[in-house]
Amino acid sequence: MIGLILAAAGAGSRFGSTIPKQFLPLDDVPVYLRSLQPFERLVDHAVVVVPAHWEDVVCRQTEDRWDRRMRVRVGGNQRQDSVRLGLLSLPAVEIVLVHDAARPFVTTCLIERVIEETRRSGACIPALPVSQTVKEVAGSTIVRTLDRNRLVLAQTPQGFRRDILSEAFERAEKDGFYGTDESMLLERLGVPVTIVEGDPGNVKITFRQDISGRI
């Protein structure tokens, strides 16, 4: 079985709205619901991790389609805390997908690629090649130019065997380590994480201009 953790607990402060961006309407549908819909027929269970006081809203908006396959719980102080709480709330599944609620343009084709590769390798993320020259800097001075052929841009959903992801979270908590995504927790343990082709349209909403005119 496959489980989904939708990370929707962020404040979205850079977006500049009093309402967290994941709950704003995008073409009349809340952003997080758009992110959730493509997973509906592909996963067995889902947990939506939300900020405090948003549980009732999300429960009402999802109950008709998800019924007992969906759980909603309040997240933690940081994204990693929230995803870990989501993982603890999932019923027994073999594969766990983690997706950003602020990526509402994810497609079923991309999700299926991640699931297939996760079944094969145990840990997988979608990624895009870097097309521009990337510089490492110290303050305002260039240190070196990085080899873009060895760089990719990570996306979600990221897929993991549940036992591998659980161990990575346990070790991170024990060590007091926080990563910027889930695959980083596996990397530090030396667990191989493979990549599949990402989708240029699978953008993450960060600023208002990312979806200008649609909210």
Q: In this structure, are residues 18 and 60 in contact, taking their beta carbons and an 8 Å threshold?
A: no
Say if residue 148's pLDDT is above 80: yes
pLDDT (0 to 100) of residue 74: 93
Q: In this structure, are residues 39 and 97 in contact, taking their beta carbons and an 8 Å threshold?
A: yes
Residue 196 bridge partners (DSSP): 126
Fold (CATH) for 2-205: Spore Coat Polysaccharide Biosynthesis Protein SpsA; Chain A (3.90.550)
Q: What is the domain partition of the chain in residue ranges? A: 2-205
Say if residue 214's pLDDT is above 60: no
pLDDT (0 to 100) of residue 84: 96
Q: Which tokens hold the place of 155?
A: 């996306």
Average pLDDT over residues 147-156: 94
pLDDT (0 to 100) of residue 71: 93
pLDDT (0 to 100) of residue 12: 57
Q: What is the pLDDT of residues 112-134, one digit of tens each?
A: 999 999 999 999 999 999 999 99
**What's the mean per-residue pLDDT of the chain?**
90
pLDDT (0 to 100) of residue 10: 74
Q: Which tokens hold the place of 14?
A: 């850079």
Distance CA 179, CA 201 (A): 25
Q: In this structure, are residues 201 and 107 in contact, taking their beta carbons and an 8 Å threshold?
A: yes
Quick one: what percent of the chain has pLDDT higher than 70? 92
What does 49-97 look like in DSSP terms, one character per residue?
Answer: EE-TT-HHHHHHHHHHHHGGGEEEEE--SSHHHHHHHHHHHS-S-SEEE
Q: What is the pLDDT of residues 25-51, one digit of tens each?
A: 888 899 999 999 999 999 999 999 999
Residue with tokens 């950003």, as numbered in its chain: 100
Q: What is the pLDDT of residues 44-101, one digit of tens each?
A: 999 999 998 899 999 888 888 877 889 999 999 999 999 999 999 999 999 999 999 9
